């Protein structure tokens, strides 16, 4: 008999707990999710159940925010890395540009100071091939100089353009017949259109050229300032051989 009563009591208790649980579930939307209030309204086990749900949601939200922050941090790191790489590329590009500019400037400097040069014809002594004001390009490093080479040279602190008529060791003479003789032989100058008069009172003929001396004449022989006026030109006074005329004064 006692066992039957205990079973009935247990069943009745279970029914009450079931009823209370259903009532509590109906009251959930009307309850503020506070632990103390929940503990008063609900039985202890129900409050503990919902408190665990609340903690689970809270930590899940924290983990979600932490993951979002980590994602944002990773994106920011990627952006920073891209900016840093771009900055490094820009710096390398600037360095390459500066290096190329320095190399180009150095090459141009060496080229125009030690290899080639530019000069403006100071007068019309080489007319008609070269006129006054023409810009000439000349080569500074010739191995040897020969007759008929057009050279740039300095005499008495003045730049001149002239054509070599005789080389070291030759004997030069300008005759009264306005002819040029080298080593006793008259030279034929089919490309010279002027006679070669003597400048009285300047040079005594014949002229024997030394080892580093050249006899230089202008193509416009009448009135040109050349070796008939100031004598032979030394090798140290010659700057180079004219290569071409790069700009005409009169087109």
- B/e letters for 190-213, b = 16+ CB within 10 Å, e = fewer, are eebeeebeeeeeebeeebebeeeb
Q: What is the pLDDT of residues 39-61, one digit of tens each?
A: 444 455 555 555 556 555 555 55
Cα-atom radius of gyration of the chain, to the nearest Å? 54
To which residue do tokens 């994602």 refer? 71
pLDDT tens sequence across 140-154: 999 899 999 999 999
The domain containing residue 128 runs over which residues?
Answer: 121-247
pLDDT in tens, 103-158: 999 999 888 889 999 999 999 999 989 999 999 999 999 989 999 999 999 998 99
Give the list of residues 6+ apart from residue 132 with CB closer than 8 angstroms, or none.
121, 122, 123, 124, 249
Number of domains in the chain: 1
Whether residue 161 is contained in a domain is answered as yes
Q: Is residue 214 part of a domain?
A: yes
In a domain, 105, yes or no: no
pLDDT band at 75 (very low <50, low <70, confident <90, very high): confident
Q: Is residue 74 part of a domain?
A: no
Tens of pLDDT, residue by residue over 167-182, are 999 999 999 999 999 9
For residues 13 and 8, give the distance between their C-alpha atoms in angstroms, rounded to a whole number: 9
H-type helices in 111-182, by residue range? none
Contact 175, 181 (CB under 8 A): yes
In-domain check, residue 154: yes
CATH of the domain at 222: 2.10.109.10
Q: Is the peptide bond before 206 cis (omega within 30 degrees of 0)?
A: yes
Give domain status of residue 237, yes or no.
yes
Question: Could you tell me if residue 36 is inside a domain?
Answer: no
Spatial CA neighbour of 150 closest among 231, 217, 250: 217
List the Cα angle 27/31/37 in 5-degree steps.
115
Whether 216 maps to a domain, the answer reads yes
Q: Residue 126, exposed/middle/buried by CB under 10 A (0-12, 13-18, 19+)?
A: buried
């Amino acid at each position: 008999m006692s066992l039957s009563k205990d079973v009935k009591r247990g069943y009745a208790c279970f029914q009450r707990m079931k009823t209370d649980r259903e009532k509590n579930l109906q009251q959930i939307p009307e309850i503020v999710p506070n632990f103390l209030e929940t503990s008063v309204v609900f039985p202890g086990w129900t409050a503990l159940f919902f408190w665990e749900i609340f903690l689970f949601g809270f930590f899940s939200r924290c983990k979600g925010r932490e993951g979002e922050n980590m994602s944002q941090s990773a994106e920011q790191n990627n952006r920073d890395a891209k900016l840093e790489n771009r900055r490094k590329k820009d710096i390398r590009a600037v360095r390459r540009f500066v290096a190329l500019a320095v190399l180009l400037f150095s090459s141009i400097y060496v080229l125009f100071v030690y290899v080639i040069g530019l000069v403006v014809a100071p007068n019309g002594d080489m007319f008609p091939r070269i006129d006054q004001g023409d810009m000439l390009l000349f080569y500074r490093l010739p191995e040897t100089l020969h007759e008929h080479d057009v050279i740039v040279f300095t005499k008495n602190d003045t730049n001149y353009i002239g054509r070599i008529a005789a080389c070291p060791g030759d004997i030069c003479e300008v005759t009264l017949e306005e002819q040029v003789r080298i080593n006793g032989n008259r030279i034929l100058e089919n490309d010279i259109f002027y006679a070669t008069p003597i400048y009285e009172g300047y040079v005594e003929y014949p002229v024997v050229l030394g080892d580093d001396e050249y006899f230089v004449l202008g193509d416009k022989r009448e009135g040109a300032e050349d070796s008939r006026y100031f004598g032979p030109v030394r090798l140290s006074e010659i700057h180079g051989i004219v290569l071409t005329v790069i700009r005409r004064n009169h087109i």
